[in-house]
């Protein structure tokens, strides 16, 4: 039964993925249902040893039908039809900011849930507004936005890749954008009171960091604690990308998972239930402080699954749990499977830790336990996400394993001290000073290490464009190889038990 369910889930992912890139209607979706029904009849006809194969095919076809149908139901025009008629022309929109504004350089992004255009009420629609850095806006502000309404279009990145910007925004139900319109604050204090309180607390936390820690260490500490990367200079960001450690300041399961594993290693002398509970509380605190955004919740859930997987004797079942979690996430929002790189990296990094960290650790039995497991976790995630990173970034970091081995042990120290600095700094800068010296010191050490390694010749090499189908094929073949290896191992263990 578990096998049948597993193939059904696999079919669901295939259906969602296929419908993400190829538009086919309900007759095609119904055809998969017809195939499923045919397989059921064949399974009944060939009762006996072969019927399980037909049941597996039945589950696959049902999964493909369900996945493609789920995406088709979500693939609807975003926003009120009135907004579509205003594309390319001046529009006056009224609505409320429903997400914490994100500052970047001399601008800020605000997500507005629009409820009226030119004074006429419309169905609520999401518009992403790129505004000037000042005045500063906040979650819950009711605003009037006057400017040209645009539809997001794909664009070419610096490395020559085409970025599907429309699909990326559509996963968050954002159908329109505005670039540097006039934005007027009509009222403050709207939105959900809980989220408003969380975001206000986060702002005080970040302000305390920047008051007590000198730059650029303050920006790095803000990044590793709650994912705020607003103040990092471009040269620092380039160094982090070159050395393959930019994940430490990005809100994804990539850094949360690695940091949670390091926390467990620090507390490994304590009983497992204690260390696991502390790590789980750390993940929950991270999600809470960052405002429980969708990205953080997803990353924290992935990290929590990795936490269970790495410290459970039933690894295979935990791996199933990972796929089950991904299944429910995709069922809720099918667009994240193809258009959310954060979700993809989180899933692959977690899967890599589950599958490869223990085998890799055996090759480094000659080094101390803690560095051995950090290195194994780093290599496991690096190997697993490498094809996707090559496709997305067009660069291969040759120095990444060394950089991660040197830098990752410093991240939890900077993170813990950073949390202490931020929380104590809300009360008093003087009270936060000792923690600020520690977090700033670790932050500076991370930056110095990354900057130094980035200067090494050929630390990062450009990679020619790789077609997406090739990357998909690499993961499919790798998955099949791992599947058959684990199957043969299980059969070997079963045979040994029968002989004994």
Confidence of residue 158 (pLDDT cuts 50, 70, 90): low
Q: Residue 214 pLDDT > 70, yes or no?
A: yes
Mean pLDDT (the chain, rounded): 80
Write the Ramachandran bin of 160: left for phi over 0, alpha for psi from -120 to 50, otherwise beta.
left
CB 278 within 8 A of CB 260: no
DSSP secondary structure string for all residues of 20-46: HHS---HHHHHHHHHHHHHHHHHHHHT
Cα–Cα nearest to 198, from 91, 329, 271, 296: 296
CA distance 123 to 128: 16
Residue 2 makes CB contacts below 8 A (sequence gap 6+) with: 320
Q: How much is the pLDDT for 392?
A: 79
Helix (H) or strand (E) holding 441: helix 429-454
Residue 21 makes CB contacts below 8 A (sequence gap 6+) with: 338
Cα–Cα nearest to 400, from 461, 310, 474, 475: 461
CB 95 within 8 A of CB 359: no
Q: Residue 317 pLDDT > 60, yes or no?
A: no
Within 10 A of 499 (CB to CB), how many other CB atoms are there? Answer: 6
Average confidence (pLDDT) over 334-359? 83
Which residues partner with 113 through β-bridges?
Answer: 96, 126
DSSP state of 161: P
Cα–Cα nearest to 453, from 281, 244, 161: 244
pLDDT over 90 percentage in the chain: 17
Tokens (6 digits) for 319: 């791996």
Average confidence (pLDDT) over 167-173? 86
DSSP H stretches of helix in 112-216: 165-170, 193-212
Which residues partner with 132 through β-bridges?
Answer: 107
Q: How much is the pLDDT for 445?
A: 93
Q: Residue 60 pLDDT > 90, yes or no?
A: no
Q: Residue 127 pLDDT > 60, yes or no?
A: yes
Q: Residue 229 pLDDT > 80, yes or no?
A: no
Cα–Cα nearest to 478, from 387, 417, 365: 387
Average confidence (pLDDT) over 409-434? 88
Which residues partner with 108 through β-bridges?
Answer: 103, 131
Q: How much is the pLDDT for 316?
A: 41
CB 251 within 8 A of CB 299: yes
* pLDDT: which is higher, 144 or 500: 144
pLDDT digits (tens, 9 = 90+) for 8-38: 888 899 999 989 888 888 888 888 888 888 8
Cα dihedral value 402, 403, 407, 409, nearest 10: -30
CB 466 within 8 A of CB 475: no
Strands (E), 264-325: none
Which residues partner with 94 through β-bridges?
Answer: 116, 144
Q: How much is the pLDDT for 254?
A: 53
Q: Residue 368 pLDDT > 70, yes or no?
A: yes
* pLDDT: which is higher, 278 or 160: 278
Q: How much is the pLDDT for 464?
A: 79
Give the chain's length: 500
């Amino acid at each position: 039964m578990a096998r049948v369910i597993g193939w059904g889930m696999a079919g669901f992912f295939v259906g969602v993925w296929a419908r993400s890139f190829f538009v086919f209607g309900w007759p095609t979706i119904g055809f998969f249902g017809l195939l499923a029904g045919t397989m059921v009849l064949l399974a009944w006809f060939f009762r006996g040893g072969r019927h399980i194969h037909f049941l597996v095919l039945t589950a696959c076809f049902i999964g493909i039908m369900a996945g493609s149908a789920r995406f088709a139901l979500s693939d609807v025009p975003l926003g009120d039809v009135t907004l579509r008629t205003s594309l390319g022309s001046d529009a006056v929109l009224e609505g409320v900011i429903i997400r914490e504004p994100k500052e970047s350089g001399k601008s800020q992004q605000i997500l507005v849930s629009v409820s009226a255009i030119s004074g006429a009420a419309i169905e609520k629609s999401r518009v992403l507004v790129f505004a000037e850095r000042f005045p500063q806006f906040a979650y819950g502000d009711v605003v009037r936005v006057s400017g040209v309404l645009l539809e997001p279009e794909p664009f070419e990145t610096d490395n020559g890749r085409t970025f599907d910007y429309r699909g990326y925004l559509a996963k968050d139900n954002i159908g329109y954008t505005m670039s540097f319109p006039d934005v007027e604050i009509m009222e403050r204090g709207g939105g959900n009171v809980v989220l408003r309180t969380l975001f206000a607390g986060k702002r005080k936390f970040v302000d305390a960091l920047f008051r007590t820690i000198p730059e650029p260490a303050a920006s790095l500490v803000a990044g590793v604690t709650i994912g705020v990367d607003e103040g990092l200079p471009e040269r620092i960001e380039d160094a982090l990308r070159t050395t393959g450690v930019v994940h430490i300041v990005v809100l994804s399961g990539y850094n949360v998972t690695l940091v949670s594993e390091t926390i467990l290693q620090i507390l490994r002398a304590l009983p497992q239930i204690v260390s696991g509970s502390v790590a789980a509380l750390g993940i929950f605190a991270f999600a809470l402080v960052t405002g429980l955004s969708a990205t953080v919740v997803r990353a924290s859930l992935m990290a929590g699954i990795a936490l269970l997987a790495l410290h459970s004797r039933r690894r295979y079942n935990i791996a199933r749990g990972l796929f089950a979690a991904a299944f429910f996430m995709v069922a809720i929002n099918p667009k994240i499977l193809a258009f959310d790189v954060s979700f993809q990296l989180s899933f692959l990094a977690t899967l890599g830790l589950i599958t490869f960290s223990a085998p890799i650790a055996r090759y480094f039995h000659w080094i101390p336990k803690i560095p051995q497991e950090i290195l194994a976790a780093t290599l496991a995630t690096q190997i697993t996400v490498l094809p996707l990173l090559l496709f997305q970034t067009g660069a291969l970091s040759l120095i990444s394993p060394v950089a991660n081995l040197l830098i990752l042990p410093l991240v939890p120290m900077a993170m813990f001290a950073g949390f202490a600095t931020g929380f104590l700094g809300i009360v008093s800068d003087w009270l936060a000073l000792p923690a600020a010296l520690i977090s700033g010191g670790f932050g500076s050490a991370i930056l110095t290490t990354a900057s130094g390694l980035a200067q090494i010749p050929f630390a990062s090499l450009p990679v020619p464009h790789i077609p997406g189908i090739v990357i998909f094929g690499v993961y499919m073949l790798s998955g099949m190889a791992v599947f058959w290896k684990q199957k043969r191992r299980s059969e070997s263990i079963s045979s040994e038990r029968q002989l004994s």
